[in-house]
Amino acid sequence: MILGGEMSNIKLTIYFDFACPFVYNTAVWLDMVQKNSDKKIEILWKHFSLQQNASTEEGFQVWETQDLKSTRSLMAAIAGEAARRQGEKLFQEFLFKLLIERNGPNRVPLNDNEVFKRIAEECGLDIEKFSNDLIDSSIIEIIRKDHEEAVKNHGTFGTPTYIFENGQGSFVKMFIPPENEAVEAFEDFIALFGKRNYFGELKRPQPPWPKGAL
């Protein structure tokens, strides 16, 4: 299952964190849209660290953590970028499979390189190259730059955050819609958040979720 395509008439940047269950919901939703719509969606997935964002420790920089296994999802982000070095298609295959395994019954950890290597092999990546890239410290700089760009340029505070071609952005928590409603829901979403810049914030008053959403 691949989210994105070479020829596209809709382009999105999505800031994500592998630890976020709503990112998983979004990935499944957009995959359904891709399979059921004649429109092509080109997605650029960029990193936003929920751990960094939530920290109240003065001067804390998750990218400077010496013990990577102690981080919430930095190792998964590194693995994602290691996969991306073998092409966007393989990166998206890896992203989707890791999200599925993280949010499925296995609940795989996000700080285990052996898990990432297994998934990479199942996705058809060159494992020797992938393993070497997992320990390339320069990858962390990509993740840091993504996060800082998200905050500075878009005011990002959570995941997933969508950035449209016109610069409009939207943070959306959602459940996975029925497949027969996926495309219509996406079209509604684009119409509201991608085109209507006069909507500043929408929030349902009924906590925690609307009746019937689950």
Query: What are the pLDDT digits (tens) for 9-41?
Result: 889 999 999 999 999 999 999 999 999 998 889
In a domain, 201, yes or no: no
- Please report how the helices 88-103 and 21-36 are oriented relative to each other, as an axis angle in degrees rounded to 10: 120
In a domain, 51, yes or no: yes
Residues 37 and 40: their CA atoms lie apart, in Å, by: 8
pLDDT of residue 214: 56
Its domain, for residue 99, covers: 10-194
Tell me which amino acid residue 121 is: E
pLDDT of residue 39: 82
- Count of domains observed in the chain: 1
> 29: which 2 tokens?
């939703």
pLDDT of residue 200: 82
In a domain, 205, yes or no: no
- Letter string b/e over residues 146-172, b meaning 16 or more CB atoms within 10 A of that residue's CB: bbebbeeebebebbbbbbbeeeebbbb
Residues 17 and 32: their CA atoms lie apart, in Å, by: 20
CATH of the domain at 159: 3.40.30.10
Number of H helices, E strands in the chain: 8, 4
Total-model pTM: 0.92
* Torsion angle in degrees (nearest 10) through CA of 202, 50, 84, 194: 10
In a domain, 168, yes or no: yes
| Spans in the chain with pLDDT lower than 70 | 1-8, 206-214
Task: For residue 16, give the nearest of 35, 7, 3 by alpha carbon.
Answer: 3
pLDDT in tens, 56-67: 999 999 999 999
